[in-house]
Amino acid sequence: MPHLAGAPCGVCQQPLIGIRDGAFCPECEGPVHVVCARQSSEQYPAGICRRCGSSKLNSEKWRTSVAAYKAEDEAAEVADERTRALTHSLLGGLFIGLWTVITVVTVQVVKELIRWFRRRRKPTP
């Protein structure tokens, strides 16, 4: 979701400071100051939002930028998921390889210990 802070108001074009200063219009989905939206309760000609009074052209530009933001965010999430999957598979392969090496070394050590004990138990004539 795009940030409201810094977005230009659809009525006065001044940037919004935050959620206390403004909101997204429920009708045109454009950012608007609370004060500007309250002042714009009269009728407006075509191309102007009936609810907040902002230009529908500005709201359309805002929706386009919001859609681009969402698409970029979704692409980043997909890339993050791929990175996590690759990391997990690499770490899994690393642990399997390490486990194999430890097992082989342990088997060799046990074999050498068995040989050593057998040589020690044999009585020398």
Return d(Cα 109, Cα 116) in angstroms, integer: 10
Res. 57: pLDDT tops 90: no
Residue 15 maps to a domain: no
Quick one: pLDDT at residue 114? Answer: 92
Total number of domains in the chain: 1
Residue 14 maps to a domain: no
Contact criterion met (CB below 8 Å) for 59 and 30: yes
Res. 100: pLDDT tops 80: yes
pLDDT single digits (tens) 6-55: 888 888 888 888 778 888 887 777 888 888 876 555 566 666 777 777 77
Residue 16 maps to a domain: no
Quick one: pLDDT at residue 113? Answer: 93
Residue 113 maps to a domain: yes
pLDDT single digits (tens) 78-94: 889 999 999 999 999 99
Quick one: pLDDT at residue 90? Answer: 92
Res. 1: pLDDT tops 60: no
Residue 10 maps to a domain: no
Contact criterion met (CB below 8 Å) for 36 and 52: yes
Nearest to 17 by CA among 30, 7, 27: 7
Distance of CA 106 to the CA centre of its chain: 44
Residue 28 maps to a domain: yes
Quick one: pLDDT at residue 13? Answer: 82
For residue 61, give the amino acid letter: K
Contact criterion met (CB below 8 Å) for 25 and 37: yes
Residue 7 maps to a domain: no
Domain hosting residue 117, numbered range: 22-121
pTM: 0.43
Residue 78 maps to a domain: yes
Beta strands in 11-70 (DSSP E): 22-24, 31-33
Neighbours of 2 (CB within 10 A): 16
